[in-house]
Amino acid sequence: DGSYIAGGIYYIDRSGMFTIESTLPIREPGQTNVSDYKSENRLSTNISFLEIFPEYRFRIMDNFINGPLRVIAGFRLAFPLTHNFSQKEVILSPDNADFLSNNKRERLIADGDIRTINSLHYGFSAGIENLLKTGENTYFSQQIVFDFNLNNVASDVTWSLYAIRLELGLRFGIMQKHELIIPEQPVIDTVKKEIPIVPAKEKLLSIKFK
């Protein structure tokens, strides 16, 4: 009928990085010229989830290129598995500058676990799937799915999470296809019976004289 209800369990890495660039004027000792000091504050997050995804798929075209075209909509429940971070400051310019603490162009500011992460995340997903027929019961699947969380990643900060996923895979059926065989109706010979014609009896007219 073109409608499908399915579900899945995914392990998804949703790590990311936040960056802030800043510029400050600097002057070397004994020099009169002023130059710009540019640095970048990098906050790297390492977050992964176990996600449960009930979904609904609806076929909008039976034969798009070489197979059906379907839309996807579903609800997601996610449970965080890993949740840690590291914050660094990196020197972008000038090229001959480094930190006195380690004589390098970057230094660690803080790292550790994200302790205020929410234990349950929920959101929705929507996308489109194109299936290219490669065999009797096999299809090459291409999916573009948009994910959006309805709650924040952590409880103490406004931190939204969304992503666009491109998925490629091979979809195959494991159930055998059974053809519905309709037996032919037997041909019944009809015997034509001749109905004998019985001649009608003649009516008798009796006359009585008195």
pLDDT in tens, 77-112: 999 999 999 999 999 988 888 898 899 999 999 999
Q: Give the span between the Cα atoms of 190 and 195, in whole angstroms.
A: 15
pLDDT digits (tens, 9 = 90+) for 128-143: 999 998 888 888 999 9
Look at 136 and 20; give whichever has higher pLDDT: 20
In the block, which residue shows the tokens 């510029």?
Answer: 23
Q: Give the span between the Cα atoms of 99 and 109, in whole angstroms.
A: 12
Concatenated DSSP letters of 77-97:
EEEEEEEEEEEEEEEEE-TT-
Alpha carbon of residue 137 to chain centroid: 22
pTM given for the model: 0.69
Neighbour-count burial for 15-53, b at 16+ CB within 10 Å, e otherwise: eeeeeeeeeeeeeeeeeeeeeebebeebeebbbebebbb
